Structure 1
């Protein structure tokens, strides 16, 4: 079936899949098999996902790393094409995530979040929170769960509005990609008015509710095609153990070291990034012709 060219639905959607994580030593150990599986290819994904799922089941409800391991597991299940399971993992992890406010924390408080601490809940950077809702929406849509996809679309919109209006975050391509996918979801659910608005805004244009809808070509065996491409693995966080004085120096917060020493803490796991693993440029063709991609480069956020 030929794809009907009606923006944004004829634009395949490309985004970078991320193994989302913090950097405690136990977290690295739990994730080692999953990281190796992603690097090795599809043959090891089932074993890695099963191992990680078993590990998640052993964690108590309040375990600090549980949200992160659920996200990692959801990422693995997306990778192996188990979209229903992936959507369920992401939905469970979503409310467990706190989003750190980088614009308002005083220096001493902010510096404490630069380091992995196994006693604290993980606090996600804003783009990770948005990615959870975006991938959840894509997973629900791919399984024709329009109700669930609409819920994820609304969650993305609410979080995005807060981060943009209150925190000043410019999510760029990530927001436009979500709007494009959300437009497709709303249209499939019969909400044509909202689909029109999202479609226009995804193209970077201002929506005029009084403007008449664009004329559609005659049906004649044509249909709409939405393609979501997951490409690449972001640099993962790893732990580098350093004395609290060195950690405080790097964070430009000397008072933090004294306070931690008084609490009996002598070392912290400094969060650093391991190198990305050879991302490739995704290519999508329709009837043999390359199609333009609406791209969200998460690594650049």
Structure 2
């Protein structure tokens, strides 16, 4: 099985064993976690580990935690107070199915449970602390949450910053730094130098977001699997600031920088394939 299939299976098994006493909350917690997705964050981490050794059950446990954290971010991103999205992966968003109140709590549960999963892995305490530090830094107030705050405020024209600076700041923090941390975690778990993987993840994350902005303009809603909300929400995007062609040029340039960061890493072909997929994907 592919890593994606393994992670999908393990998350499904995990949810099937949960008995959270309140059935509707149990369903809301698992709904967005199990409704598909690329599993890119887990895939990056596991592929980096594979460069040095076989992937272990504890690695999978941490990878599941990364996907829980990602699911939380999507639930909250879709909320009426944020993007007000009705569709995610061609299914109704969590708050449409379960209500805004349970969706918020499901996101909160996934966020905190991600760190429970990581701390439950049977690896050295030093590694657990290091993993939690990079992940909480890059998905919290110094990363993803900060980027989301800037995104919301910029859409309401409440940030007096140059647009080119602002769009890069938003997407570096909102998207790229989470992917960067997943790459760093893979290196931590496999005792590799984090620096080249950190650069790879950051550049890859920036490229990913540019393509996401591009697809919101040109892709069919059914292919994209979600509402096209950037224009409606006055979201600051790369095509809005740079234009479509320059945005694509930037995505390719960043992909090249990501690949170049791995030039001294042996056996990095699968990571290069992932970088190519990021730029060529349709959804």
TM-score with structure 1 length normalisation? 0.28
- Higher percent of residues as helix: 2
Using CA pairs under 8 Å that are at least 6 residues apart, name the structure with larger relative contact order, 1 or 2.
1
Which of 1 and 2 has greater Rg?
Answer: 1
TM-score calculated relative to the size of structure 2: 0.29
Please identify which structure carries the higher strand content.
1
